[in-house]
Amino acid sequence: MNTHTVWLSCGALRAEMEELHRRGGIEGEILFLDSMLHMDPPLLEAKLIGALEQKSGSDGCLVLVYGDCSAKMLDLVRRFRVGRVNVINCAQLLVGRDRYRQLMREEAFLVLPEWALRWEHIMKKELGLNRDLAHDLMGENRGVLVYLDTGLIMVPEQQLEEFSSYTGLPWRVESVALDCMLAELLEARSKAGIWATDEGLA
């Protein structure tokens, strides 16, 4: 990678992005936005625009490490001429498309490491779900909690037990390598590089 890269990523993937950077899988600068912005899509969009405006004038290329987290995500890609991972969400980025489809057929609720530690705040404060509502809602739409263990932190068993009790869903751990994520990041980086090359020739 000869061109400087700026990765604008959801904070839910901080540990994984930093690990890939440490391993040398990706290079450049990584910026993170708080994962709780997903609870307020218009605010997330405003924060993304602000970060993109700040960085878009600099040399190199920009890559969005976000799924379909905003209704105007594709508009942002075209407007700022940036790369973006081709995934629905962060969970799909970690497990890959095929495994993601399998888990969705299983009606799994996928729990990222960063979110596992914040489940109580998300369910109670952000979503306003008490235990009864959580039981009803999750029971109607999901069959199991699946914690995606990227191996970078200890599995938070106590939090998962509490989350399971609160929702009435059993839980299990699925080990996840970072290979799928890295492949998507590099593909997005190559697309960002095309934008950067086009601008250099303009």
Q: What pLDDT does residue 64 have?
A: 95
Query: What does the domain layout of the chain look like in residue ranges?
Result: 5-89+178-201, 91-175
Q: What pLDDT does residue 66 have?
A: 95
Q: What pLDDT does residue 8 have?
A: 96
- Residue 193's contacts (CB-CB under 8 Å, 6 or more residues apart) are 3, 61, 83
Q: What pLDDT does residue 192 have?
A: 84
Compute the distance between CA of residue 51 and CA of residue 152 in angstroms, rounded to an integer: 27
Q: What pLDDT does residue 202 have?
A: 35
SS3 sequence of 84-119: ECCCCCHHHHHHCHHHHHHHHHCCEEEECHHHHCCH
Instruction: Give the side-chain half-sphere CA count within 13 A for 124.
Output: 8
Residue 169's closest CA among 141, 148, 149, 139?
A: 139
- Name residues of the chain where pLDDT drops below 50: 1, 200-202
Task: Tell me the fold of 5-89+178-201.
Answer: Rossmann fold (3.40.50)
Q: What pLDDT does residue 200 have?
A: 46
